[in-house]
Structure 1
Amino acid sequence: MFVSYKWLQDYVDLSGITPTELAEKITKSGIEVEGVEVLNEGIRGVVVGHVLEREQHPNADKLNKCLVDIGEGEPVQIICGAANVDKGQKVAVATVGAVLPGNFKIKKAKLRGEESNGMICSLQELGIESKLIAKEYSEGIYVFHQDAEVGTDAIDLLHRDDQVLELGLTPNRSDCLSMLGVAYEVAAVLGREVKLPETEFAESNEKASDYIRVDIEATEDNPLYIAKMIKNVKIMPSPLWMQGRLMASGIRPHNNVVDITNYILLEYGQPLHAFDYDRLGSKQILVRRAKDGEIIQTLDEAKRELTSDHLLITNGQEPVALAGVMGGLDSEVQSDTKTVLLESAYFKGATVRKASKDHNLRSEASARFEKGVDPNRVRAAAERAAHLLAKYADGEVLAGSVEANTLKVEPTVVSVTLEKINRVLGLELEIKEVVDIFSRLQFETSTDNNTIIVTVPTRRGDITIEEDLIEEVARLFGYDNLKSTLPIGSATPGHLTAYQNKRRIVRRFLEGAGLNQAITYSLTSGLKATQFALENREPIRLAMPMSEDHSTLRLSIVPQLLSVLKYNSARQNENLAMYEIGDVFLSQGTDELPEQHEHLGGAITGLWHSQPWQGEKKPVDFFVVKGILEGLFAKLGLEKAIEFRQAEKEGMHPGRTAEIYLSGSSIGFVGQTHPTVEKEYDLKETYVFELSLKAILEAEVEPLHYQSIPRYPSITRDIALVVDKDKAAGELESIIIDAGGALLKEVHVFDLYEGDRMEAGKKSIAFSLKYFDPERTLTDEEVVKAHDKVLHAVKVKAGAVLRG
């Protein structure tokens, strides 16, 4: 809702309150003001000028040479390119030295050899949006009424010397979708009175009932319809002040009759519609539901097919308006209209919303009907519109109104105790203070001991229960004035459990390593349910599955991740790294609920590292994935308890798969998927892993110990051991670590040889061993002694021989 500060002053005394201060007070009362727009910001030096002469520019076909009186002595020459500029017009002139929006400064200039001392302005050049400008001035300059005084401020005359507050209304505060509604709110905040608009007018001797009859078939959708007749209207532009207010509120001016209906919509929040009585085609208004397939041509010239869900205004036979949404084209007010039938009605919000949605016609009127209009303003809005039509369209208002009324409206009565108000708000208000707050809101109140009985006006349909009254007290008392209190009683501060915290560590580490999280269904097909399972159990099938592809609870995450890779790879996303943390379901028998175990799964394919500029490409391989897991285990403090052992698993490559053990117990696997599986999923070389996350995160971890950086040198020994081909390097490494004692600090493999110089069935594995003591420098004798123990151990326990 856009609220003009100058317009608001018609209803509430705002003296001593600037627009910015008012915006802050409204925001603190519970309605957010999203911004305050200064309409004439940055504009100066624009005056009303009188075009005394106009002639064709001697050197340009599309330019005009104008002699303009700007109220400063001698007339000035201005070159203007507008096609509609002409002699005798009163126009907006930006004088030399003036500033227009965008900090555009006007200077003396020569255009095609002719001097120009200023600029004759269009409304767009004065900062008004094109969509808000009347069609006759959408192109070319703006022309004032002949009464405009030369030399006066054109911006003030256009009523742009204003500031507009933009209210961010929640759906329950539809009462503030009108200037009067905002006025009541502001008056309550400031503790001032509301001045209602003038509605008096003289009626003619003729009766409206002699010209029109109103019948309603759909009384539930339209319980109240009021028609007023205005004769001998003169269609002309509405007053500049009204046009300015409409444009400030985001509505384009049309003519005085249409502008008055829009003005009342903004002022009262009550949509009106004006029909050209002579084009109506009958003396009857019949409100009914549309027939299925019935057609209406609306004001936007679109033909719309209706259903029985839509409410129509008809002339007894033909539709003339889609109730609450848009009028019909045939009965619209035009330049030759003489007699106006004015409609003011109360339509059911749900019915209007249905029509608005079905036809994609979201209008200012439909928005208000949808949220609810004040039923007690329907008649007042019609009287106010008749007053303005008599004043600004020279209309003769016929006596009385024609009404069809089955509406029964009773104001809501809500009671609340003073004790509850103070208890909820943490205050110690007296009953007089609470009654005063309701009086500022213009709510009628009565008291019964400490109970306050409030009669809520119909304009505030959002207040129905005692909590609503407490909210009104809180916001008018001032949220800033509410006391700060601490909770009473014992409370446990929220925090993550150790398991939850470690799970976050896992996510952050894997995402930092370059993997993206996937979330897949826990349901899969019966065929895929048991693939890659860490623990073989009977799969659990749903009693009533929606499809065979989602019929069985999964025992492994890997099949779904492979499907994710397949989906992305088919769309030319070839370098993929995915992980998922999710549950698998293990059967405990037919009459028992399954166990849910949280697993961590991953799948990687394509290039792991690519630097095209340097020509570097590294496809993912077993050691990339193993390295990611080793980094994760190190992050969790488990690296010393983890062991990788070569394994064979169904669906996995027989030579590139390892089972992972934690403190001697199997917790998962890592490796390349079998080529047949890769072919099935249409994937390139793909590596996967799956781990029991529960086992990892619940494992006991030794406290973190820090070691100082060694001050003394280390001694490195390299050994190449000839062993049987089936001997695992990990087994040798364990033997070396056990035998090396306290002085051996690091062991790692750095070479493998299986060439033709090695005897059949043998291979050579080279290890690098680092010895040091953090407290002193080691002697060769001490290193030799420890190293001999290592050589003896690998010979005895693994049958290893030093390679010559």
Structure 2
Amino acid sequence: MLVSYNWLKEYVDLTGVTPEDLENKITNAGIEVEHLSFVGEGITKVVVGYVESKKPHPEADKLNLCQVSLGDEVVQIVCGAPNVDAGQYVPVAKVGARLPGGVKIKRAKLRGEVSNGMICSLSELGVDPKFVPKEFADGIYVFKDEVVVGEDALPYLNLNDYILELDILPNSAHCLNMIGVAHEVAAILDREVKYPNVDLQEEAASVLSKLDVKITSGAEKVVPYYGARIITDIKIAPSPAWMQNRLIAAGIRPINNIVDISNYVMIEYGQPLHTFDYDTFNSDQVDVRLANKEEKITTLDGVERTLLPSDIVITNTQKAVAIAGVMGGSDTEVTSNTKTILLESALFDARSIRRTATRLNLRTDASSRYEKGLDYNRVTAASNRAASLIAEIAGGNVLSGFAECGQRVIEPEIINMPWKVINDKLGTTLTSEEIRDILVRLGFDAKIENEWMHVLVPTRRPDVSIPEDLVEEVGRIYGYDHLPATLPEGTTSKAELTPYQKLRRKLRRYFEGKGLYETVTYSLTTNEKAKQLTIDESTLNDAVKLKMPMSEEHETLRMSLVPGLIDVAEYHINRQMPNLAIYEIGKVFKAQGSQDQLPNEAEHISGLITGHVHDKSWNRAPETVDFFYVKGVLEGLFDLMGVSNSISYRPAKRPDLHPGRTATIHLNDECVGYIGQLHPNVQNDHDLNETYVFEISLAHLRDQDQSEITYHSLPRFPSITRDIALVVDQSVFADHIKQSIQEAGGKLLSDVTIFDVYEGEHIEEGKKSIAFSITYLDPERTLTDEEVSRAHDRVLASVKEKFDAVLRS
């Protein structure tokens, strides 16, 4: 929800409260302000100018020479906008002015003619092009309201405004409108809310008397109420500048006065409205029903949509003319020829609207409000406000009466509770009067009778229904920072990290020390990506799909972290960041039993490295990541965890990984992860260069964690090193030979290192040579040659027996 600071001042006195103060106060009261921005950021020296004359540029067909008055002087400005003309009041950036993006306006010559400034469009003043009114989309902005030449143009354009972007959660839907935010701010500041002044003048209802509204049997459960009124003799035109400015601030593009008024009232009251062209509606009967199977309608965006019997439609008894609560149909759209409109103000079931909007992938400002629930008692107030504005701005005649069907008034919720419970829960010592005062500031009708409190909850707050909700309301308005910091009585525990928290912190330190950056990706993904690159490929049928996903991109719980890292890599590489090393510690999911059971969760750690490990420098060549670099990162991890001797790697073939550069990782013969290069086809699909990934089950590492720090003194006695080169079959794994050497060497064997692998000339076909450096050491005494020879002979005998290894001559 985008909240204009200037607009908010219409409802609440903000004297002495800066936008920054308001941001902090709203956030501290429990509704996060994600961002505070000044609309005219970076704009200076833009004033109101008056175009005194215009003539063609002598050397350019598409340019004009304009003499523009700036109040204290008249300057010549060369302008190429097609809509510039004499007699206009326009925003002018003077010489020396600055515009968004760091643009500085200088005195210039265009085709030999001097230009002292620039006549500006809204886009040049920082307004997002998608919000610019159509009449100014391809040209400069022209003031239509009364302005003063030479004055700062920003206030006239509402560019002196601050926008607070609120993160509206489902339990704070009452703040999805300006009046709701005003109530919140008024409670925080202990000030009054000023409602809009609605002066509705109605005419005789000769046409309205014939209008009939019906909710067809079967739709009553999802359509509690539907109301409509008729307004005649309207004149379609652009909205006044003040309304356009406020809609733009709210992130809505102005269209025309009728459409803009319905959007304006929706933002103001939170009640979505819809206007039909009454002549093309072509009926005096409104029938609200469930759609027929395979029924079709072309919506306002020009797309033909196929409906299901669970969708609600508005009809003229002959055909559907709108998808209720989501979007109207193109057949009854308000156009420049519209003279009479039918104004809808209705209530629809939140779940039904959510299902329809999600299935059609058609989320609108209206559907987002219906989905979260509306205030029943505000539905006619919003219609009256819109009707009065249409009469005022569009010259319409509002016919008296209201055709309606269903229930639009509900009784407020009453909560009875001991008022001292609030102090017990919050740890405060508030008096009953102080508690009552806070609730009254929130718009609740609260009465105290001895130890009990009786609270009448306004219908605009459906999120408040139980005593615990009142505790939360009092706590956040009183101020969380004012609550005393106490420990539970009788506690003797001390605060410390759990073993699992310590493990995660240790892993983060390790990977960040290796140059990897931590990422956090979505747990929800597409059904296809959810099944890619899993550790256990036998669980692909255990994917968990949401019953009501927000979109196809977020419909299935992930079973691997790697696809999310691939998307992160693609995003960065598309922005000229080819060298990337990232990791993530997060949960993956798989189904257990029926779909109604909660899924199994498992913690995994995953990484992706691509590009250069080191860029080129004056003293070294660039080093490109390869399989063994990534394997080295993991070996350092296993050393840190104390499980290196239990880890082995086995070549593997997986559909999304390179067939010759992939291995599964085994801990005590159990597969706990994999490492490999992405398959070239996958790399091409994501525009990636050579990219390596890994994923490991963290639960298995945690169970085997042997990472207690131990210290060893430097050896006082010398070690003895023997190097051997063994010729074995190409199918033999070097790691298996290494393990055999470690077992056979006994307690005297200190270290084994592979330092060479060779295939080719002087080696029999089908064979390879693997060279090992073996170190023998006794920390308590000096070894004799005989002792080392006996241990070494055991090593050679073991590799001969197990692998038919022959010493290379």
- Fold equivalence (TM over 0.5): yes
Q: In 2 relative to 1, CA 454–118 (structure 1 residues): closer, same or farther, beyond 3 Å?
A: same
2:468 matches 1:462: no
Distance in 1 (alpha carbons) for counterparts of 2:485 and 2:86:
70
1:604: which partner in 2? Answer: none
Q: Does the 8 Å CA contact 2:56/2:63 hold for their aligned counterparts? A: yes
Q: In 2 relative to 1, CA 282–193 (structure 1 residues): closer, same or farther, beyond 3 Å?
A: same
Distance in 2 (alpha carbons) for counterparts of 1:795 and 1:312:
86
2:15: which partner in 1? Answer: 15
Q: Does the 8 Å CA contact 2:446/2:455 hold for their aligned counterparts? A: yes
2:47 matches 1:29: no
Code of the aligned partner of 1:44: T
User: SS of 2:379's equivalent?
Assistant: helix
2:393: which partner in 1? Answer: 392
Distance in 2 (alpha carbons) for counterparts of 1:630 and 1:199:
72
Q: In 2 relative to 1, CA 223–79 (structure 1 residues): closer, same or farther, beyond 3 Å?
A: same
Alignment of 1:48-447 (within 5 A): 48-73=48-73, 75-145=74-144, 147-207=146-206, 209-217=208-216, 218-407=219-408, 409-447=410-448
Shift of 1:731: 9.8
Shift of 1:242: 0.8
Give the alignment partner of residue 691 of structure 1, picking from 657, 663, 668.
668
Q: In 2 relative to 1, CA 638–168 (structure 1 residues): closer, same or farther, beyond 3 Å?
A: closer
1:560: which partner in 2? Answer: none
Distance in 2 (alpha carbons) for counterparts of 1:796 and 1:146:
100
Code of the aligned partner of 2:400: A
2:482: which partner in 1? Answer: 481
Provide, for residues 539-586 of structure 1, a one-character-per-residue CA deviation record: whole Å limited to 9, x for no partner.
xxxxxx99xxxxxxxxxxxxxxxxx9xxxxxxxxxxxxxxxxxxxxxx
Provide, for residues 710-765 of structure 1, a one-character-per-residue CA deviation record: whole Å limited to 9, x for no partner.
5xx96989999xxxxxxx98899669x69xxxxxx9999999xxx9xxxxxxxxx9
Q: Does the 8 Å CA contact 1:270/1:381 hold for their aligned counterparts? A: yes
Distance in 2 (alpha carbons) for counterparts of 1:719 and 1:133:
77
Provide, for residues 504-554 of structure 1, a one-character-per-residue CA deviation record: whole Å limited to 9, x for no partner.
89x979x98x9xxx97449799xxxxxxxxxxxxxxxxxxx99xxxxxxxx
Q: Does the 8 Å CA contact 2:184/2:442 hold for their aligned counterparts? A: yes
Distance in 2 (alpha carbons) for counterparts of 1:682 and 1:241:
64
Which runs of no fewer than 5 residues in structure 1 stay unpaired?
A: 526-544, 547-563, 565-608, 640-667, 676-680, 721-727, 739-744, 756-764, 775-782
Distance in 2 (alpha carbons) for counterparts of 1:251 and 1:39:
15
Distance in 2 (alpha carbons) for counterparts of 1:438 and 1:164:
28
Q: Does the 8 Å CA contact 2:46/2:97 hold for their aligned counterparts? A: yes
Provide, for residues 576-600 of structure 1, a one-character-per-residue CA deviation record: whole Å limited to 9, x for no partner.
xxxxxxxxxxxxxxxxxxxxxxxxx
Code of the aligned partner of 1:24: N
Shift of 1:122: 0.8
Shift of 1:88: 2.5
Provide, for residues 433-461 of structure 1, a one-character-per-residue CA deviation record: whole Å limited to 9, x for no partner.
11111111110112232121111010001
Code of the aligned partner of 2:481: D
Which runs of no fewer than 5 residues in structure 2 stay unpaired?
A: 517-532, 543-561, 563-612, 653-657, 671-699, 725-739, 757-761, 763-771, 798-809
Alignment of 1:773-792 (within 5 A): 787=784
Shift of 1:48: 2.5
Shift of 1:151: 2.7
Q: In 2 relative to 1, CA 76–482 (structure 1 residues): closer, same or farther, beyond 3 Å?
A: same
1:540: which partner in 2? Answer: none
Provide, for residues 477-510 of structure 1, a one-character-per-residue CA deviation record: whole Å limited to 9, x for no partner.
1000000012333447666679x979989x979x
Q: Does the 8 Å CA contact 2:715/2:779 hold for their aligned counterparts? A: no
Code of the aligned partner of 1:707: S
Q: In 2 relative to 1, CA 428–63 (structure 1 residues): closer, same or farther, beyond 3 Å?
A: same
Q: In 2 relative to 1, CA 683–345 (structure 1 residues): closer, same or farther, beyond 3 Å?
A: closer
Shift of 1:71: 2.1
Q: Does the 8 Å CA contact 1:208/1:399 hold for their aligned counterparts? A: no
Distance in 1 (alpha carbons) for counterparts of 2:303 and 2:773:
85
Give the alignment partner of residue 707 of structure 1, picking from 713, 721, 725.
713
Shift of 1:129: 0.8
Alignment of 1:721-732 (within 5 A): none
Code of the aligned partner of 1:57: H
Q: Does the 8 Å CA contact 1:62/1:81 hold for their aligned counterparts? A: yes
Distance in 2 (alpha carbons) for counterparts of 1:39 and 1:134:
17
Distance in 1 (alpha carbons) for counterparts of 2:615 and 2:122:
57
User: SS of 1:85's equivalent?
Assistant: coil
TM-score, normalization by structure 1: 0.69
- Indicate the percent of aligned positions where both proteins have the same amino acid: 42
Q: Does the 8 Å CA contact 1:747/1:769 hold for their aligned counterparts? A: no
Shift of 1:390: 1.4
Q: Does the 8 Å CA contact 2:51/2:66 hold for their aligned counterparts? A: yes
User: SS of 1:15's equivalent?
Assistant: coil
Shift of 1:698: 8.8
Distance in 1 (alpha carbons) for counterparts of 2:196 and 2:456:
24
Shift of 1:208: 5.5
Shift of 1:796: 14
Code of the aligned partner of 1:154: A
Q: Does the 8 Å CA contact 1:502/1:636 hold for their aligned counterparts? A: no
Code of the aligned partner of 2:8: L
Q: Does the 8 Å CA contact 2:99/2:125 hold for their aligned counterparts? A: yes
Q: In 2 relative to 1, CA 491–684 (structure 1 residues): closer, same or farther, beyond 3 Å?
A: closer
User: SS of 2:464's equivalent?
Assistant: coil
Q: Does the 8 Å CA contact 2:641/2:707 hold for their aligned counterparts? A: no
Q: In 2 relative to 1, CA 411–112 (structure 1 residues): closer, same or farther, beyond 3 Å?
A: same
Larger Rg belongs to: 1
Distance in 1 (alpha carbons) for counterparts of 2:326 and 2:640:
66
Provide, for residues 280-309 of structure 1, a one-character-per-residue CA deviation record: whole Å limited to 9, x for no partner.
111111111111122222211222222211
User: SS of 1:380's equivalent?
Assistant: helix
User: SS of 2:332's equivalent?
Assistant: coil
Q: Does the 8 Å CA contact 1:747/1:770 hold for their aligned counterparts? A: no
Provide, for residues 105-160 of structure 1, a one-character-per-residue CA deviation record: whole Å limited to 9, x for no partner.
22221110011111111111111110111112111112222744433332222222
2:589: which partner in 1? Answer: none
Distance in 1 (alpha carbons) for counterparts of 2:405 and 2:116:
62
Provide, for residues 187-225 of structure 1, a one-character-per-residue CA deviation record: whole Å limited to 9, x for no partner.
100001111111122222335632522112122222222
Alignment of 1:597-616 (within 5 A): none
User: SS of 1:486's equivalent?
Assistant: coil
Q: Does the 8 Å CA contact 1:28/1:479 hold for their aligned counterparts? A: yes
Provide, for residues 609-631 of structure 1, a one-character-per-residue CA deviation record: whole Å limited to 9, x for no partner.
999999999x999xxx99x9999
Q: Does the 8 Å CA contact 2:643/2:706 hold for their aligned counterparts? A: no
Distance in 1 (alpha carbons) for counterparts of 2:186 and 2:415:
22
Shift of 1:370: 0.8
Code of the aligned partner of 1:190: L
Distance in 2 (alpha carbons) for counterparts of 1:308 and 1:795:
81
Distance in 1 (alpha carbons) for counterparts of 2:743 and 2:358:
73
Distance in 2 (alpha carbons) for counterparts of 1:228 and 1:138:
33
Shift of 1:705: 5.7
Q: Does the 8 Å CA contact 1:749/1:768 hold for their aligned counterparts? A: no
Distance in 2 (alpha carbons) for counterparts of 1:620 and 1:159:
57
Q: Does the 8 Å CA contact 1:749/1:766 hold for their aligned counterparts? A: yes
Shift of 1:90: 2.3
Distance in 1 (alpha carbons) for counterparts of 2:111 and 2:332:
50
Q: In 2 relative to 1, CA 451–669 (structure 1 residues): closer, same or farther, beyond 3 Å?
A: closer
Q: In 2 relative to 1, CA 351–682 (structure 1 residues): closer, same or farther, beyond 3 Å?
A: closer
Distance in 2 (alpha carbons) for counterparts of 1:706 and 1:44:
68
Q: How many residues align?
A: 641
Code of the aligned partner of 1:67: Q
